[in-house]
Amino acid sequence: MKKIGLITIGQSPRSDIIPDMKMILGHDYEILEAGALDDHTLKEVQQLEIGPDDPILVTRMRDGTEVKITKEFIVPLIQQRITEIEKMGLEVVLLLCTGRFPEFKSKALIVMPSEVVRGAVNATLRHGRLGVVYPAKEQTTEAAKEWGRDELKVYADAASPYGPEEELERLAGRLADKDLDLILLNCMGFGYKMKQLIKERTGKPVIEANTLVARVLKELAS
């Protein structure tokens, strides 16, 4: 059985993400998980200082608690986990985050969801209206710069993938009002249930990042 490494920026295991990915991967792969925050307590993470201009990332602890962290804090921890997990003889390692990161050092192939998702969006929608859903409102401010171009207008919104269902219902309603051509769930924590909710409410195509990346991962590992 082939092994695949999955690195979350939060704590492992990610019981909220792995089932959706296994729908695509099937049962022919052994998944080895590691989390950048595995050695940290919730209290330690919650005490992390986040400045007003710090790029933030949203993830969760093992018990499901949502936390926000900075890229500066998490990048060296991700590298540490990659170095540890590749010693298990892995050829492919996936980073479970759609944020943009510097290049990591590894003998294994490192799959970066941000690049996979960007390629899919650029190949699918050349002009029109793109909806991008982030896990935190603070992340929406750079959406137009990150995704927009002359013939592509961007509507950015946010909802926690770890929050109450009512929050996702309200998000779906807002997206339905915008008459979008394509919607991107720009976080690995957004799952199949959320995709179906938004697709039903909007009637528009929806890209779920984690299952899209799983398809690429399966191609690389097969």
Q: Which long-range contacts (CB under 8 A, 24 or more apart) does 99-106 make?
A: 99/9, 99/55, 99/57, 99/71, 101/71, 101/75, 102/75, 104/78, 104/79, 105/79, 106/82
Mean pLDDT of 84-96: 93
Q: For residue 222, what is the DSSP state? A: -
What pLDDT, on a 0 to 100 scale, did the predictor assign at position 194?
Answer: 95
Residue 221 is predicted with a pLDDT of: 86
Q: Tell me what pLDDT residue 109 has.
A: 93
Asked if 173 and 201 count as a contact pair (C-beta separation under 8 A), the reply is yes
Q: What residue ranges define each of the domains in the chain, with the CATH number in brackets?
A: 2-114+211-221 (3.40.50.1860), 116-208 (3.40.50.1860)
- Per-residue confidence (pLDDT) for residue 179, from 0 to 100: 93
pLDDT of 150 > 90? The answer is no
Report pLDDT digits (tens) over 198-207: 999 999 999 9
Q: Report the mean per-residue pLDDT for the chain.
A: 95
pLDDT at residue 181 greater than cutoff 90: yes
SS3 call for 100 = coil
**Percentages helix, strand, coil for the chain, rounded to the nearest 5?**
40, 25, 35
Q: What is the pLDDT of residues 96-149, one digit of tens each?
A: 999 999 999 999 999 999 999 999 999 999 999 999 999 999 999 989 999 998
**pLDDT at position 79, please?**
98
pLDDT digits (tens, 9 = 90+) for 19-47: 999 999 988 889 999 999 999 999 999 99
